[in-house]
Structure 1
């Protein structure tokens, strides 16, 4: 207790103090009503609130005045002001009323009591009551901050659990409309472009890692849902149609090792496909030691196919082999011979009995049809795997 607090301790037989306590008890209802009336007059947010919340605020004001009366009766006895005052209100009230609004409510109540000191205090007890009110105002301010800090901490822990549930549902392929609602409660505004970035989580406090991802996302103007699942750091990012650029902006908090960005999808439910592609890419990255960091899951299609990813195999057949097949047998044959001849135009031309310019033209058509250039080493590897898988698929259909 401070010196100022000790100066409040009245002699047991102080008649002015005892009389002031009695007057406080008698006028507490009147003071609470005056505080509510002033809030209704001065605070627009209070007038706009639903009746139920206004009634809870009225109870808080009454409890505050009653707690002050009891504290003034025995100022030398420590009391849990936050429990006395805010314990009457439901926990949900901290969501409905901001900290700033609560401060305004407390200030208004204190001002009402302060303006009535001459009426409430017994003759000779005015100064003691005024000092007591100043000290109580300080204590109620600390109590207010504590209540909102505890509410924020509890809400933060709950939000973290909720976010982890959503991220886990997306990664496991079990996301449903309930997870969409949970994400909305976390502030996810259903952006048009969604993708998943996946890599290894660093050692240490996962909360610090998650907060670092959020800071990076704010800087990049991305929405994120993120969490550490075992040894993996998962980020569901929304708001960008460029997965590689988004992944680069978020890569800082990831531990050393591969970081894979899944393809862009249309919404949170479809993000399961992006997550599965990213996870398959992380597993297959060992087959491409020189892969960039971050790398797109679609750039790892051949490695994913070799690792047994059925989605990668299907994409290579459907997006490369089938379009070439539909474009005419000449493109498939030219590409196959060119790859077998170690990417030699002249060698392929001799094998096909055509001019090298014809081979060159057909290879440009291959690039137009598939988006992969046979003259680039990495693209040639992808095209070769696609041809192998397409032939296997055709062979299986014929058998």
Structure 2
């Protein structure tokens, strides 16, 4: 097995490669810059000052670093890699694409190889292979330094933006100095928000054997929010967990109607692959705290009355909302069901019967009992409470009693 020569001894066409690179440095850098602009479209969008300044300087540093590493027969050292990483950080700060930066370094490496091997002859095969191997190693080292610097800056930037948005959301919901927070974060407040309190159904993957449920939940939330962000940009603010939460959407002309709100919510649910129950209302930034509390209450009412998936406003459940407000009336309605509390099968049958729109046969099928058993249990509810769930006159009162019971249980925690 033939040992590799030291980098400083590698010679092509009668001249050591590192010496040739040093001698040809000005022309090499000009060639690299010209080729980058020709082959990487993103660099053509940069100001001329940046190309002749920062980009030319980091190109010069990279070429010199490779020549030194060859002469001294070593890998790039920490200082050289830090300079390359710092340049990548600046590109990330500017929002310049990582793909373009990496492509530029590959272009530069090809030019280094082309210049360094330009006078290679037939007797130089072994040294030529060794030089090519060292260029490839240089590309790998630089790629890691660029990627690390770029992504660390990107994570920092994303973290700062996320923190700013969370702080703004907290100020809106908790009633803090909204204008001050928005100014310090560089965020322009909309004139009004669409406030959505949402309940998200489970995705099938969350209960699939062998599937990480936490990953399934995160994927559900990411896809749900992505629909809002595609529609309304990065001004969307959200606080969600797997079961739901709060979404504030900047109102724009495209969201001028309730129908457009419904379409947006339905699209988000389809994208996430889940059913969505939501309470909606609009609010100026200074009204978000009050409105968020109200939409949260409306969402609870929707749950207590067993409403199906969809978007609702307070106007859609005015009677139901009023029936479940704390007070003597709610307590008495809830107390009407106290006699059946000790009979779990009666409570289950009554709630299923109401959920299935008073259909006895579907109730029996759901509970795996005979329809006659459903009738018997409902008559027992009537005998114990004095409210007949089968008779049309008793139906509104029993529905209200069930909802009041759920509200009272929720209030007790």
- With normalisation by structure 1, the TM-score equals 0.56
Q: Flag the 1:34–1:227 CA change in 2: closer, same or farther, 3 A.
A: same
Match of 1:226 among 230, 238, 246: 238
Q: Which residue matches 2:105?
A: 106
User: SS at the partner of 1:263?
Assistant: strand
Q: Deviations over 1:11-54 (max 9, x none)?
A: 48947399333443444455334423544566664354235633
Match of 1:278 among 258, 272, 295: 295
Q: Which residue matches 1:211?
A: 222
Q: Deviations over 1:124-172 (max 9, x none)?
A: 4545333422342344344444444434433333333233223323322
Q: Which residue matches 1:327?
A: none
1:13-52 superposed matches below 5 A: 14=9, 16=11, 19-39=16-36, 45-50=42-47
- Distance in 1 of aligned mates of 2:18 and 2:130: 11
- Distance in 1 of aligned mates of 2:3 and 2:66: 13
Q: Which residue matches 1:10?
A: 5
User: SS at the partner of 2:11?
Assistant: helix
Q: Which residue matches 1:163?
A: 165
CA offset at residue 61 of structure 1? 0.9
Q: Does structure 2 conserve the Cα–Cα contact (< 8 Å) formed by 1:261 and 1:296?
A: yes
1:69-88 superposed matches below 5 A: 69-73=67-71, 77=75, 83-88=81-86
Q: Which residue matches 2:375?
A: none
User: SS at the partner of 1:291?
Assistant: coil
**Between 53-62 and 127-136, the greater mean CA deviation after superposition:** 127-136
**Between 223-232 and 129-138, the greater mean CA deviation after superposition:** 223-232
Q: Does structure 1 conserve the Cα–Cα contact (< 8 Å) formed by 2:85 and 2:146?
A: no
- Distance in 2 of aligned mates of 1:12 and 1:107: 21
Q: Which residue matches 1:262?
A: 280
- Distance in 1 of aligned mates of 2:273 and 2:174: 21
Q: Which residue matches 1:89?
A: 87
Q: Does structure 1 conserve the Cα–Cα contact (< 8 Å) formed by 2:178 and 2:285?
A: no
Q: Flag the 1:8–1:233 CA change in 2: closer, same or farther, 3 A.
A: farther
Match of 1:173 among 172, 175, 180: 175
- Distance in 2 of aligned mates of 1:71 and 1:201: 59
- Distance in 2 of aligned mates of 1:50 and 1:134: 30
Are 1:53 and 2:17 counterparts? no
Q: Flag the 1:173–1:52 CA change in 2: closer, same or farther, 3 A.
A: farther
Q: Does structure 1 conserve the Cα–Cα contact (< 8 Å) formed by 2:8 and 2:16?
A: no
CA offset at residue 67 of structure 1? 2.5
Q: Does structure 2 conserve the Cα–Cα contact (< 8 Å) formed by 1:284 and 1:307?
A: yes
Residue correspondences, number: 302
CA offset at residue 120 of structure 1? 8.2
- Distance in 2 of aligned mates of 1:15 and 1:276: 74
- With normalisation by structure 2, the TM-score equals 0.55
Q: Which residue matches 2:195?
A: 195
User: SS at the partner of 2:21?
Assistant: helix
- Distance in 2 of aligned mates of 1:48 and 1:179: 34
CA offset at residue 233 of structure 1? 1.9
Q: Which residue matches 1:289?
A: 305
User: SS at the partner of 2:176?
Assistant: coil
Q: Deviations over 1:79-128 (max 9, x none)?
A: 56983452342724224221232134223322332331246889945453
Q: Flag the 1:49–1:132 CA change in 2: closer, same or farther, 3 A.
A: same
RMSD across aligned positions (CA): 4.8
- Distance in 1 of aligned mates of 2:308 and 2:262: 11
Q: Does structure 1 conserve the Cα–Cα contact (< 8 Å) formed by 2:29 and 2:56?
A: yes
Match of 1:66 among 64, 67, 84: 64
Q: Does structure 1 conserve the Cα–Cα contact (< 8 Å) formed by 2:21 and 2:112?
A: no
CA offset at residue 76 of structure 1? 5.8
Structure 2: tracts of 5 or more residues without a match? 203-212, 327-394, 401-413
**Between 123-132 and 176-185, the greater mean CA deviation after superposition:** 176-185
Q: Does structure 2 conserve the Cα–Cα contact (< 8 Å) formed by 1:170 and 1:271?
A: yes
Structure 1: tracts of 5 or more residues without a match? 1-5, 310-375, 382-399
Q: Flag the 1:72–1:245 CA change in 2: closer, same or farther, 3 A.
A: same
Q: Flag the 1:131–1:255 CA change in 2: closer, same or farther, 3 A.
A: closer
